[in-house]
Amino acid sequence: EIVLTQSPATLSLSPGERATLSCRPSQSISRYLAWYQQKPGQAPRLLIYDASNRATGIPVRFSGSGSGTDFTLTISSLEPEDFAVYYCQQRSNWPRVTFGQGTRLEIK
């Protein structure tokens, strides 16, 4: 099983600041990584797939980068609605897809 380690567990920032979230797979997954946002009581929302492709309707302030064993989700300037939990997910060895444990982005 490919383990995804997300860091930090919690990130405290203010609106307008830049957020950088990390996801590190236990083995190389090429670029087969997605990012999701989940707010309390809601289903996850796809933000990024294949490491850097924004999903339909996702604002340009969200960007993804990386390959192999090191990936980053960047939110260039935080809006109030961006405070949520973020998960990464790999599909490299489907059907054994796995998710990271999540990063909670909270208002400072």
Partner 1 sequence: QVQLVESGGGVVQPGRSLRLSCAASGFTFSRYPIHWVRQAPGKGLEWVAVIANDGNDKHHADSVKGRFTISRDNSKNTMYLQMNSLRPEDTAVYYCARDLVVASAAYYFDYWGQGTLVTVSS
Provide the minimum distance between the beta carbon of 32 and partner 1 in the complex, in angstroms, as a whole number.
8
Which residues make up the interface to partner 1 (CB under 8 A)? 34, 36, 42-46, 49-50, 55-56, 87, 89, 91, 94-102
Strand partners, 10: 104
CA angle 98, 100, 101 (to 5 degrees): 125
The length of the chain in residues reads 108
Residue 36 vs 83, nearer CB to partner 1: 36
Shortest CB 95 distance to partner 1, Å? 4
